[in-house]
Amino acid sequence: MSMRKGWILALVAWLVLPAASIAQSIYVSAMRGQAGASNVMSGLYSVNLANGAATFVTPLRTSDGKPIAITGLAVDPASQVFYGITSNLSPAFPQSLVTLEPQSGRVNVIGRLDQPGTDIVFDRQGRLFIWLPRTRQVGLLDLTSGHVNVLGKAGPPDAFGGLAVDGEGRLFVTPSGAYGTLDMVDLNTGALVTGPQIKGAPFPGAITAMTFTPSGLLLAINSNVGSPAAAKLVTINTLTGIVAEIGNLPDDSDAITYVPPAHGMADILSTMSGRTLALFALIAGLVLAVGGMFAVRWIRAR
């Protein structure tokens, strides 16, 4: 590779790769908003994975301004649409399947759930799973209605539970709180396969939500189930069950999801601010100008 070609490729990589990284994020939803407004019931936060620091993004409300309390979040891997399930305590549309717009916080109601859930997650095939603590079962959600197709046999009830799918399609659940076990779900039968004992959680209360990063890191929200509920961002080792604390989350944090990076250039551009877009356009223009100059020299040389 010539020096000139290498310089051009390096410039293009410098231009594109940081832009792509903007589009991957961790989001957390807190049941009571922390934005200073008394009528905010649920807030959406972006989270710095390095230290767990949460930045308020927007309150979550319906189009007519009704506050919504989200207890489970998941992002469709194909469309990157945010889906959520609302809490039984939500002042509007409790126990419902919704979509939400992460920039504006607008929540669109799809339909009422057949029974309450505490966490949701998509697998790579685009199937949306829900954890049903009252019957200790996993269900499949219909994205157009909120209908739940329950898998397996019912077990003893519980109040909480996080749900996550790893890169191999394995479904993990925490059915018994922060001092219970990290179990897997047999997707053929719906049965729970007991996993390692969870050890070292900062709070003895609950693991309310989970999500995997592409590297295989299992992130979770550990809550003390108080009022308000203190919450911490933690990791759980899937082999040993050992918990490691990352940092504090806003009180009443109850849902977490990983948002994969944008795939197309249009998706990447849509994530940029005006100042970043201007810089992108300037550098792109320079790349095109330099490339054109080399092309003219090449043609003349022939």
Angle (CA) 168 162 138, round 5° = 70
Whether 67 and 128 share a structural domain? yes
Whether 68 and 54 share a structural domain? yes
Q: Which CATH number belongs to the domain containing residue 234 in this structure?
A: 2.120.10.30
Whether 126 and 271 share a structural domain? no
Whether 85 and 73 share a structural domain? yes
Whether 72 and 174 share a structural domain? yes
Number of domains in the chain: 2
Whether 181 and 275 share a structural domain? no
Q: What is the residue type of 12?
A: V
pLDDT at residue 292, rounded to an integer: 60
Whether 275 and 196 share a structural domain? no
Identify whether 67 is preceded by a cis peptide bond (ω within 30 of 0): no
Whether 277 and 222 share a structural domain? no
Query: How many other CB atoms sit within 10 Å of the CB of residue 43?
Result: 26
Whether 4 and 99 share a structural domain? no
Distances (CA, A) of 174 to 104, 118, 238, 253: 31, 11, 11, 17
pLDDT at residue 80, rounded to an integer: 92
Q: Could you give the CA distance from residue 85 to residue 75 in angstroms, rounded to a whole number? A: 12
pLDDT tens per residue across span 2-49: 545 444 444 444 444 343 333 458 999 998 654 444 445 689 999 998
Whether 129 and 270 share a structural domain? no
Whether 192 and 290 share a structural domain? no
What is the extent of the structural domain holding 86?
31-260
SS3 at position 276? helix
pLDDT tens per residue across span 130-173: 999 999 999 999 999 999 999 999 998 888 999 999 999 999 99
Q: What is the pTM of this model?
A: 0.77
Whether 290 and 186 share a structural domain? no
